[in-house]
Every structure is written in structure tokens, then in C-alpha cells.
Amino acid sequence: MAGIVLEGDHVSIEERASHAQRIAAEKRAQSLKHAAEAKARLGDKKLKAALAVGGAIVSDEVVEPGPYAKKLAKGEHLRIIDLDGQQAVDFLCYDAANPENRYNAANTLKLNRSIYVGKGFKLYSDWGEVLMTLVEDTVGFHDTIGGCCSTEVNEKRYGIKGTASCRTNFTKALAAHGMTPRDIPANINFFMYVPVRPDGSTEIEEGRSEPGDYVDLRAEKDVLVVISNCPQLYNPCSGWNPTPVRIIQWREGR
């Protein structure tokens, strides 16, 4: 993300916004070219593999940048497929029986001993229970520390008012289940890459996922999954060009 944010007290909001819009437009053009090249190189090979769920499909949806929520019974799977590559998917899960027992980032990092999500990674709750397990993953290095974008922080960083954001999407999705913004903890970002350098500094960088890459999560108890397919235009988390993802809920057996 280096260069996208024009920082300093001497910089006006207008200057910051103009800079962010110009850089993002340049990066978006490069991203579209990269996505087209990746699709031409890969064809539908990865997507075919992603669609081979090996069980009974409960629901299958293409989700545009925006909110999504779904309840899963214990043992059911949720497969999230990145259709165009480099598309961040902000993710939360809750104990369906008691949503106060929700995904806890600190517990998850401590008990998995890693800040990066990958195959075998378990998502722990506030009470130290396993809510879901990542049973398949074709990318690795999904983010646990970057959190969700918000309209307010986007304005502070980029000088642009009223941007779409993952916090807004989370709020909309949670409202349908009787919850409020107070119920939004720190989240996972699938397909988003936020490396931590040896000196402790960090930055959002372009994701490593390609068209057809996916993650597959198994519910270890009845859960509510809440997602924001990220609408962010002004940093690399969605390849500068937010795109749809495909989400398949399925269960083992026929």
C-alpha cells in the first residue's frame, strides 16, 4: 500500500483525496490487466476444483461486494471461492445458541500460534471453544490483524467521505439477527495479505489469491457466519477492484 496515503499535518483533505483517487485509478488499471492475465493462464482449472465439494449442497450464491450472513449446523461446511483473485473477504462467526460467545482474534492467534490463517487453523471463541476449522485452503497467509475498513477511517486515510466499508456491511448483516455494531469484534480477512516485517512494521499488500482459489470451513458447532465481501477501492485488499465471490454451504454425504 506504500504511496497510496498522502500523510502529514500540512496535507489538506482535498489534496489527500486527489492523491488517493489518482493512485487507486492507476493501480486499478494494473489490477484489471493482472486479473485478465491470470484467468487466461489458469482457465477454469482452479474453479472446477473449487466447485468439487464432495457432498450435498445446501446453498450456492454469488455474492457481490457487500454483506452476507448464514447459519450453519454443526458439521456443515462453508466454501468461499475467490472468482477473480485478490478479493478480501472479511469474516466473523458466532455461536448460534449464544452470539456473545463469538470469534476471538487474540485467543485464535494464541492457540494456533500464528498470525496467518491456513489449513488446519481453528477459530476460537471468547470462551476458548472451537467454532470452525479451516479444512481446505489453496492460498495460505490470510490476515488476522488488519481488521475491517470503516467509512470513518477511510475518510481519515484517503480524504474521501462516504465510502462503502466492511464495518457498514457487518452492521447491516448483524442487524437482521438482532445485533448491533457493539457485536463486531476483530475479524479475519480471507485472501488479504498483511505481512509483518522484522522491525514490527506492517502494511496491506496485494493479496496472493488467484481466480478460483478457495477456503473451506467446517462448523464445529451451530454457528452464525457474517461476511463482508470487501468494497474497498483505495488499497490493495481487493485488488483495487472489488469483485464477487461464490459462497457454497454444503454438508458431507449425499
Question: What pLDDT, on the 0 to 100 scale, is given for residue 13?
Answer: 87
Three cell numbers at 113?
A: 500460534
Question: What pLDDT, on the 0 to 100 scale, is given for residue 6?
Answer: 61
Give SS3 for 174.
helix
pLDDT beyond 70 at 4: no
pLDDT beyond 80 at 79: yes
User: What is the average pLDDT value for the chain, to the nearest integer?
Assistant: 94
Quick one: 162 exposed, middle or buried, by C-beta within 10 A (0-12, 13-18, 19+)?
exposed
| Mean pLDDT calculated for residue range 158-171 | 96
**Total-model pTM:** 0.95
| Mean pLDDT calculated for residue range 143-157 | 94
> Residue holding cell 473451506?
216
pLDDT beyond 90 at 1: no
> Do the beta carbons of residue 18 and residue 224 sit within 8 Å?
no
Structure confidence by residue, pLDDT tens digits, 12-62? 888 889 999 999 999 999 999 999 999 999 999 999 999 999 999 999 999
Percent of the chain with pLDDT over 70: 97
Three cell numbers at 11?
A: 496535507
From the list 99, 142, 146, the residue with the least C-alpha distance to 120 is 142
CA 186, CA 145: separation in Å to the nearest integer? 8
Question: What pLDDT, on the 0 to 100 scale, is given for residue 254?
Answer: 73
| Mean pLDDT calculated for residue range 218-241 | 96
pLDDT beyond 70 at 178: yes
Total Cβ atoms within 10 A of residue 228: 31
Between the CA of residue 93 and those of 32, 113, 114, 221, what are the distances in Å?
A: 31, 20, 19, 11
pLDDT beyond 70 at 105: yes
